[in-house]
Chain A
Amino acid sequence: MRLTIEASLHRIGDLLREDVAPDLKTPFLGQSVRMASGLLTICANWVDDAAAIRVDENAAIRALLGEAGAELAGGLAGRLREAADSRDPGLRISQLDAENHRLRLLLIEAHAATEDAGLAALNAAIWRFLEHIELGRAQREQVNPFGK
């Protein structure tokens, strides 16, 4: 069995919370170490599918931008269609996050234009998507699959 990055982070978090924190001489340090342990748990849960989540999300935003580009008019529509045809520049998390930020900024513009144009179906589709990605990302921080 391979010791993965996430398992290692979970183990370090367990050590800090259960063995180190109780022995620290001030309550302030103890609380800080417990918090650090919680932070490690969140980081651990982000590791395995970090790239997959971003690749999927970027692809879904592009699809939505393409849909918006077909319904909206003017220069924005052109930029949306162009973004819909774009590709991720690489698979590093930093590259995927930068691309995610760029696409999200366009989605904000598209969403505002959709509201202004009164495109109810597209507006509802954007909200459904936003809810979907928020819940998808939020779930990752809660669970420690290696926890006791």
Chain B
Amino acid sequence: MSDFETRIAAYLAHRMPGASGIVVDELARIYGGSSQETYRLRACWSEQGKPAEKRLILRRDAPGGLVVAERDLEYNVYRALAGQRIPAPEAHFLELDPQWLDRPFFIMDLAPGRPGDPFTSPDPYDGHDETIARQFWSIMGRLAALDHRQLGLTALRNGEAAGGFWKIELDRWESIIDEGEAVAEPIVRAAIRWLRGNPPPEPAKPAIIHGDYRSGNFLFTPDGQISAILDWEMCHIGDPLEDAAWGIDPFWPITRHLPLEQGLAEWETASGMRADRKALDWWRLFSAVKACAIWTTAEAAVASGESHEMIVALSGIRAGHFHRKVILALMREFGVMA
């Protein structure tokens, strides 16, 4: 075992007193986790004289990244969503004490399947585009229908709020831009002014928002089934159209695989709510502003030396241009630039 594998094995022994002879191997870091370090591994042990084996995922806090995540947030969401018809891996252990692996981490099952790559592949879902896209929308709808209070998720951001989510979220992302922006972006500020001047109606109900619900953040199996929705570190409570707008953002649009109206119909059936198309426009622009805030954070993290991840650097430099162009296109579509 490598040193890191040995340390993980020691931790598992600490958490699994009934297990003996724990060995961790096949440890490999998974590329693409830009807000947390993600490793896959195999753990083998004996329990009551019988051999056991599990493929696991370890998610560890990164020194710096794209988003600022509360340490136990993702673990708590995975635990709360178990049995709720939202495909997600089973989470086993959360550890906040840095003595074990230097930074907080949690361990969960390795879910079957693989992610589609929305950025480089013309066929990211192996020919299952429409099936995957329909599930994408219906799972999002089922998530929106859940009652976060019943699931014990009131500690999430906005968990106690009854409404006003658009303003809380816009204030949050604007303050992140204020903090990280090195060169002011008048396009983004104009979009924020428009958003404040044209607020959306209140949602039918507060919903659990994944926060990064998009192509690339779920796994699918060879038979075209979504097996796990991943990367919940930006999960919060809000307007369910926030996730819908993020999912159709032109950077990773699920509409590449299913027309928007068909997707929204799936969502409406699964959620039991109507998707207000005009409100969705507001959230589309919000998504572009939120993306700009995330890229600003990425740029600042690399510039300060907090992050050494190349994907964070590239995102910070390249994606900001992309989303400012999205803002320009939306402002033109909304008649603001005329």
Contact = CB atoms under 8 A, between A and B. Distances in A.
A105 B328 contact: no
A130 B187 contact: yes
Interface residues of B, number: 30
A138 B182 contact: no
Contacts of B314: 35, 38-39, 42
Interface of A: 26-28, 31-33, 35-36, 38-39, 42, 97, 100-101, 104-105, 107-108, 111-112, 115, 124, 126-127, 130-131, 134-135, 137-138, 141
A126 to B, nearest CB: 8
A111 B187 CA distance: 10
Contacts of B331: 127
Nearest to A107: B186
Q: Is the interface of A mostly helix, strand, loop or mixed?
A: helix
A86 to B, nearest CB: 16
Interface string B327-338: 010010000111
B325 A134 contact: yes
A111 B186 contact: yes
Given A32-B31, A101-B184, A104-B184, 19 more contacts: A28-B30, A32-B309, A35-B311, A35-B313, A35-B314, A39-B313, A39-B317, A42-B314, A100-B183, A104-B183, A111-B186, A124-B337, A124-B338, A130-B186, A130-B328, A131-B328, A134-B187, A141-B317, A141-B321
Top 5 A-B residue pairs of the complex, sorted by shortest distance between their CB atoms: A35-B310, A104-B184, A138-B321, A31-B31, A28-B29
Contacts of A141: 317-318, 321
Contacts of A111: 186, 189-190
Contacts of B182: 97, 101
Q: Is the interface of B mostly helix, strand, loop or mixed?
A: helix
Contacts of A42: 314, 317-318
B72 to A, nearest CB: 26
Contacts of B186: 104, 107-108, 111, 126, 130
B44 to A, nearest CB: 21
Contact of B31 (A28, A97, A100, A134): A28
B281 to A, nearest CB: 18
Contacts of B317: 39, 42, 141
